[in-house]
Amino acid sequence: MNTYFETTQAARLRTARKNQKLKAGVQKPKRHAGKLGNYLFDRDVFQKFIEALPSCSKVSWRNLGIRFQVKNKSGLRPSNAGQVLMEAAKSLGIDVSKFKTENRISGRDYAQRIRRARHKLMYEKVSIPPASQPTRKLHTEIRRRLNNQEIYVGELIAPKTYRRNHITSSGVVEETEVTVHGRKIPLEHIRRQMNVDQGLLFRWRKDDYENLDEETILKRFSKLKITVPSEPMSALDELMKVEHTRNLKVWHDHSDILNHSYSKATDVDQLSYTSTRLEDINSLHQPTYFKGTSIYHVLRVFSGDGPARQFEAGHQRGGHYSCLCGISVKEHQNLECALRFNPRTLSERMKILKSGVLWKEYSERNINPLCNLKKEALTDELEARGVDTYGKSAAEMKEKLVEILHGIQRPPALLSSDIHSLSLSRYEIPPCEPLHDLSNIVQNLITELPTR
């Protein structure tokens, strides 16, 4: 209370100064009723009634407002009808203080309630926020900055053509083609900008390695847990490369795609961006430079929500093997199974996929060649994997193939070529994502720890 409201003593002083100004005529009293001419009631009857009242009468101005049917210009009774009649009585020269004498102190002054006012923040300096710019003016300013290259919004990628109906001014329906593009900021541009933004954080410059002795080099390799090359110069170059390598993490949330009207958020639509992603990845083997020092980058981790990770790994969505770990939903509560089962790497997933024959039919038009197979196709696929299909029904063969694949449906999004030639030997897609999958577990731990 003391923080947000003035003290009682300050409120009394402020009220006393206000009363002095009112008596001296310096400050005009507040009028709660406005102009009396805006209200309708029988003024003659009210004047006779109020003049006939003796002193010390108990007057309820609210009840009088109802009794004399005070109305505004709209024909409705105002909520302050009693205050209107009090102002009308004062205008007639009636001393309204002679009523309700029990509310006075010593029969003289009315008991005035002392109200503590709230503190006004920034009372002396009033800050008025500027009005927002009109949308048309904002668009014009953005176009000007784009033309002057003050703003960089990336490159247009993955063009798609759509057909739409257009009604001309003459009322004729015409079919037109519209081409829309995605947009990306090239990875090369991001890497160079990172050097500018984070260059001051580099601990070791190129010149610092020239004065390193053999013992210091061995200690650094031991700290990094890396095998030391046999030749001294090769060891120094390897140390310099390792300590100037950034591990990049790719983050993608499926909701980002759903927010765009022209993106269907399907696997086919997202695979149309694979080629432009590979263009960026092919440039990773070339270092960037900052003040003469080579900076290397490695695409290390892909992170995102469930649908995004399933798409990136070439995994199915839903079903009995919806989790990237490869464990069936029937065994999700089996802790022993989770402990003994090792999630597959991308190379292992590719090996399982290529153990059959139908993966060769993978194309942009058939991105899931192992789905909705007929009995003959199931037989060919299982026999190529060394499974005996004699006397088995189509349902049994389908169940067996699902068990072998553990949810794998197609190659990972970026592994249409060799994994090593793309510099993706360390690329990893974790089976879980802490932000989405572990938040409640962490919350439970925080809740339980104080009770232990």
- Give one DSSP letter per residue of 99-144, joined into a string: S-GGGEETTTEE-PPP-PPBPPTTSSS---PPPPPPHHHHHHHHHH
d(CA 452, CA 448): 7
- Asked whether the beta carbons of 293 and 202 are under 8 A apart, the reply is yes
Q: Is 361 exposed, middle or buried (0-12, 13-18, 19+ CB in 10 A)?
A: exposed
Per-residue pLDDT at 107: 46
Residue 310 belongs to a domain:
yes
Closest C-alpha among 293, 318, 270 to residue 414: 270
pLDDT at 106 over 50: no
Give the mean pLDDT of the chain.
83
Domain boundary among 108, 141, 172: 108
Pairing between strand 173-184 and 109-110?
A: unpaired
The pLDDT assigned to 231 comes to 75
Measured CA to CA, the distance from residue 315 to residue 169 in angstroms comes to 50
CA angle 11, 13, 16 (to 5 degrees): 110
Residue 293 pairs with which residues in a beta bridge? 290
Grade residue 375 by pLDDT with cuts at 50, 70 and 90: very high
Is 363 part of a structural domain of the chain?
yes
Tokens read off for 450: 């104080």
- Top-confidence residue, 100 or 372: 372
Sorted by sequence, the CB contacts under 8 Å of residue 394 that are 6+ apart come out as 374, 375, 378
Q: Which residue has the higher pLDDT, 235 or 357?
A: 357
| pLDDT greater at residue 90 or residue 104 | 90
Contacts of 197 (CB under 8 A, 6+ apart): none
Name, in order, each residue with C-beta under 8 angstroms of 203's C-beta and a sequence gap of 6 or more.
none
Q: Is-contact 147 243, C-beta < 8 A?
A: no
Question: Domain for residue 253, yes or no?
Answer: yes
What pLDDT sits at residue 385?
92
State phi, psi for 40 to the nearest 5 degrees.
-115, 125
What whole-number distance in Å separates Cα of residue 173 and Cα of residue 166? 6
Q: What is the pLDDT of residue 1?
A: 56
Question: What residues pair up with 246 in beta bridges, in sequence order?
Answer: 297
191 located within any domain: no
List pLDDT tens digits, range 301-329.
Answer: 888 888 888 888 999 988 889 888 889 88
Same domain (yes/no): 104, 251: no
Strand 104-105 relative to strand 109-110, pairing: antiparallel
Confidence class for position 352, pLDDT limits 50, 70, 90: very high
Q: How is residue 314 written in tokens?
A: 């070439």
Output the pLDDT for position 121.
61
In a domain, 10, yes or no: no
Which residue type sits at 74?
A: S
Contacts for 324 with CB less than 8 Å, ≥ 6 apart: 309, 310, 313, 315, 343, 407, 429, 430, 431, 432
Residue 239 lies in a domain: no
Tell me, yes or no, whether 134 lies in a domain.
no
Contact 412, 346 (CB under 8 A): yes
Q: How far apart are CA 151 and CA 27, in angstroms?
A: 57
Query: What is the percent of the chain where pLDDT is above 70?
Result: 88
Decide: helix, strand or coil at residue 184: strand
Question: What element of type H or E holds 167?
Answer: strand 155-167
pLDDT by residue (tens digit) across 68-97? 888 988 888 888 888 888 888 888 888 887
Q: What is the mean pLDDT of residues 268-292?
A: 87
Residue 101's pLDDT is 62
Instruction: Give 196-238 pLDDT, tens digit per residue.
Output: 888 878 777 777 777 888 888 888 888 888 888 777 678 888 8
How do strand 293-304 and strand 288-290 relate by DSSP bridges?
antiparallel
Q: Is 436 exposed, middle or buried (0-12, 13-18, 19+ CB in 10 A)?
A: middle
Give me the residue label for tokens 């969505």.
Answer: 317
Question: Do 251 and 103 share a structural domain?
Answer: no
- Point out the domain boundary residue: 49, 79, 108: 108
- Count how many domains the chain has: 2
Residue entry with tokens 């400050």: 27
Three-state DSSP at 297 gives strand
Q: How many CB atoms lie within 10 A of CB 146?
A: 12
Convert 186-225 to b/e letters by CB count within 10 Å (16 or more is b).
ebeeebeebbeeeeeebeeeeeebeebeeeebeebbeeee
Domain that holds residue 60: 30-108
pLDDT of 137 strictly over 60: yes
pLDDT at 395: 92
Residue where the block lists tokens 């995102």: 304
How confident is residue 256, by pLDDT bands cut at 50, 70 and 90?
low
pLDDT of residue 306: 83
Residue 420 is predicted with a pLDDT of: 52
74 part of a folded domain: yes
Given the structure tokens 């649908």, which residue do they identify?
307
Domain end position, chosen among 61, 83, 108: 108
Q: Token pair of 443, please?
A: 């919350």
